[in-house]
A and B are shown apart, each in its own frame.
Chain A
C-alpha cells in the first residue's frame, strides 16, 4: 500500500493506483471527461490536471500513479484556471442546446461547466460540424450521432476497440478537423457497427444518443430508473428501465467486468420491460451494402422456429 495526501487528506491506496482513483478513495472527485476506469487511459481531455509538490507543472491525475509521500492538490487556483479555460474551449466549440439535448442532466460537460461557472459565448470563430446541434448520422435506428457536440474524448473509440472484432470507430482527420469515423468514414448503417451501443453509454456528452430512448422523449433526470440484468447469455449485461409518466423505455447500461453488450440482449430486455416497444431492426447485407430492415420480434431475437415449435407443441 502507498500512502499519500490529497488536498491534505491522508489516503492509502494499492501501488499502481492512479490519482483519480486515489482521490476517489479519499472522497474527492477530480473532473475528467476522457477517463473511464474500464478503458485505456489516454490523458486527452486534460481536465484532471492537478498540482503535486515538487513537480514543475500540473500533471494529469489519470496518467499519474500514486507514489509514497506524494502531496497532491486538486483545487489550486492554477488548476482551476486551467480547467475553466479548457471547459471554455470545449464550450466555444459546442452548440448551446442543453434545453433540448437528450443528454441533459447526464452530460459531464454540462455538469463541469455548471461547477466551474463557464458559460456559452457568442463568437464567429470556427465550429465543429455545424453551428447548431444537428444529428449528422441518422442512419441507425438505435444510435444517433451529432458531430457538433463531440468533444473528442475518444471514449467511444476505446470502448468499441475493447472488443477487437468490433473496432468500428476511430479518429479521422487532424487537429481542429479531427472527428470520429465509423470504418472508412461511413454511416453507422453502412459500417460494420453491430449496434451494441457501448459507445452510446460511454459518451459523456450528447454526441452519441440512444435513438429509441430519444424517440420516447424520456430523459434520465425526470425518470425513475431501475436496473435489470439481461438473461440472453452468461455475461449478464445490465440494462436500465426508465419510467417517466406513461412512458417506459429500456436502454443499455455501461458494461463492466468485460461484459460486451449486444443488440440481441438489448431487444430482449426491451420486449420484456419496455412499455409499447418500438419495432426492431436488423442489419442485412444487400446489393446496396448494409441496410437496416424492419423485422418481427421473433426474427429479431432469433426465435422464429422456436416460437413455431412451441406453438405447435402447446396446441
Chain B
C-alpha cells in the first residue's frame, strides 16, 4: 500500500504499542506484551547460532500458546560482540551473554514464565551483590552515545513499521514538504558533519558541490564497501537499521536533484544485503521509494550493487568504475565525483555511517547535533573495537572522547593482566598509537596530527605480546594484496616494502633496510595515484616512529622482543621442569629429549618453534626467548 504523508504517524503510533517493553520510547507504558525477548541477529551472534536460539524461543512460546504475551524480536547488533550470542529480556533489560541453544529453555522456564532472572547466564559484569544491572547500565554501554546506531538492537530491521515507530521517515516527510533542497543542504552544512568513512570531508560541502552542477541526471551513491581488517561498523548499521540509510539517500537525492541511487555493498555481507533488499522492497511497497514519494512531486529509485571483494573499491573513483561494470581501479582526481562521477554525471558519494546521521540532523536540527562532539568534528564516531581488549565489539562515542576512555572505560582494558602497547586506528591506512598518546582526543585532526587517521573506524588494541614489526608486516601484506596494480609506486613499492619487512621478521634484516623502507614509504606517499597507495606506508612509518627499538632489536640483535617472529625465538626448558614427558610426547618433530622425572632439553636446531611444548607444559617450565 502506498502511504500518504499522514499515514506515517498513524502506523508509528499503532506499532509503538507493541514495542513498549523495549525501553524506547519511554512514554508508552502499556501494551499487549508482558515480556519481550530481544535476540541479536547481527553477523557475529548469528554465526554463533543466535538464529537457532531465536527459533527455540519461538518453539517454546508457541508450545505454551504464549505468543500474545511474549514477543520475540530479532534485532541488529547491540555492540558487545564479545558477549555474543546476546539475548536481552524486557522488562528490566536483563542481559544474557554467551547464550547457547539449550539455555533458551532455562531462560524461558525460569525468567519468562517464572519471573526469576537466571543469574548464572547473565553477563558477569551486570551481576552486582545487590541486584542486576540492565544492559543499558553496564559500563560498556553507559559510556557510549548512540546516534548512528540509535536503532540497532531496538528494532527489528526487517519490519519497516518498527523503524517508523522510532521516528523513521519523519525526517524525509519534513524535508519533502517543509524544506527546499537549499534548506536541506544548509542544515547539513550547519551540522558540521564530516565524512565518517574516514576522509572527514565536510558532508554539507560535498552536497553543495553536487547540487551546484546543472543537469537533470545525477546520482546518489552509498559506499558500503567496508573493508578494513576488523571493521564492521557499516555492516552493523545496515544489518540493524537499513531504513535509516535508505531514508538518508532519498533526502540526499531530493537535496542534490537526483532521481536514482545505488548502494555499493560487499557481497561478503550476506545478512546486510538481504536486509537491504527487504528494506528497499518495503520502502517501494510503501511508496517511500519510486514515483511521487508520499504524494510529493519527488521521485527516487534505489538499487543495490554488489562488490566482488576488492578493498580498493571503497575508494570512490574505483567504486564508480566498479558500478559501471569496469575493473575497479581508481582514477586521478580532479575531476571529483561531485562534478563527474557515475557515467560522467555529478555523483554524491557518502559512507553508510555518514548517511545514518542525516535523518537525525534533519529531524532535530544542526544545533542539536553539534552539542555532541568537538567544534571541528561534531557528532559521534562508531568504532569496531578488537584485538587484545576485554570488550570486543561495536562502540559509538562522541568525537573528542580520548583513546584511553575507549580502551579502558568502554573496552574494559587489556585482558589477562597484560600491558597495553598500542592501538591501531584507520586500518591499513592508519597508524599505531603508543601508550604515551592514549590521551589524544578522537577526532579527525588530532589523529592525523599523531600520524594515524580516523579511517572508517577499525580500532585494534595490541598488548605486550604483539610484535610491532610483525603488525607492520601484516598491514603491508594486506595492502600488497589489495593494490589494484595501476600505478607503479603502489604496485611495485608495497611489494618491496613487504619483502623488507618479511626479511626483518625473518632475522635477515640489515641496517640499510630501515633507510630503504623510509625511502619507499615517502615515494608511495608522494607519488601514488590514490589514497590507498598514498597511505599504504602509514603502518610502517608510525611503527618506525614509536617502536623503532623493536625494529633495531630485530635487525641488530636478531631478537623479537615480543616473541612473535618465529625465526627469532627459541624455546627453552627451565629448572622448573618436573620431567613429566608431556612436551616430548607432544612435540611434532620429536626434538625434545629427556627421561622421566628429569629435566628435558630441546634440540634447538631441530625445533620448528610451533610452541606446542609451551602450551602443554603443566608447570610453565617452557619459556620462549
- Which A residues contact B (CB, under 8 angstroms)? 42-47, 49, 57-58, 60, 63, 78, 82, 85-86, 89-90, 92-93, 125-126, 151-152, 154, 170-171, 173-178
Contact, CB under 8 Å: B480 / A176: yes
Query: Cβ of A171: which chain B residues have Cβ within 8 Å of it?
Result: 327, 329, 485-486
A43 touches B495 (CB 8 A): no
What does DSSP make chain A's interface, helix, strand, loop or mixed? loop
A58 CA / B534 CA spacing, docked (Å): 12
Of B485, B489, B519, B526, which is within 8 A of A175 by CB?
A: B485
- Asked if B252 is at the interface of the complex by the 8 Å CB criterion, the answer is no
Docked Cα-Cα span, A174 to B312, in Å, equals 10
Given A63-B332, A175-B480, A175-B482: A86 touches B494 (CB 8 Å cut-off): no
Q: How far is the CA of A82 from the CA of B520 in the complex (A)?
A: 9
B485 and A86 form a contact (CB under 8 A): no
Q: Is the CB of A92 within 8 A of B481?
A: no
B227, chain A: closest CB distance, angstroms: 13
B529 at the A/B interface (Cβ < 8 Å)? yes
- Closest-CB distance, B460 to chain A (whole angstroms): 23
- Smallest CB separation, A19 vs chain B (Å): 13
The reply to whether B481 and A175 contact each other, CB–CB distance below 8 Å, is: yes
Q: Which residues B308-352 have CB closer than 8 A to chain A?
A: 310, 327, 329, 331-332
Given B310, B332, B481, which contacts A43 in the complex, CB threshold below 8 Å?
A: B332
Total residue contacts A-B, CB cutoff 8 A: 96
How distant is the Cα of A176 from the Cα of B492 in the complex, in angstroms? 6
Q: Determine the residue in chain B with the shortest Cβ distance to A90.
A: B488
Residues of A within 8 A of B480 (CB): 175-176
Q: Measuring CB to CB, which residues of chain B are less than 8 angstroms from any residue of chain A?
A: 310, 327, 329, 331-332, 480-489, 491-496, 499, 519-520, 523, 526-529
A173 close to B332 (CB less than 8 A) = no
Determine which of B484, B523, B529 lies in contact with A174 in the assembled complex, contact meaning CB atoms within 8 Å. Answer: B484
CA A92 to CA B482, docked complex, whole Å = 21
Expressed in whole angstroms, the Cα–Cα distance for A176 and B487 within the complex equals: 10
The interface residues of chain B lying within 8 Å CB-to-CB of A126 are: 495, 499
Q: A128's closest neighbor in chain B, by CB?
A: B492
- In the complex, residue of chain B having the shortest beta-carbon distance to the beta carbon of A82: B527
Task: Say yes or no: A85-B523 contact (C-beta < 8 A), given A152-B491, A175-B480, A176-B495.
Answer: yes
Whether the pair A42, B527 counts as a contact (CB closer than 8 A) is no
Question: Would you give 27 A-B contacts (Cβ < 8 Å), ordered by A?
Answer: A42-B331, A42-B486, A43-B331, A43-B487, A44-B487, A44-B488, A45-B488, A46-B528, A60-B332, A63-B332, A85-B493, A85-B520, A86-B523, A89-B489, A89-B492, A89-B523, A90-B492, A126-B499, A152-B486, A152-B488, A171-B327, A171-B329, A171-B485, A174-B310, A175-B491, A175-B494, A178-B485
Q: Assuming the A-B contacts A82-B527, A176-B480, A176-B492, are A46 and B520 also in contact, with contact meaning beta carbons closer than 8 angstroms in the complex? A: no
Residues of B within 8 A of A47 (CB): 488
Given A174-B483, A174-B484, the answer on whether A46 and B529 have CB atoms closer than 8 Å is yes
Q: Max chain B CB contacts within 10 Å: which of A57, A78, A174, A178?
A: A174
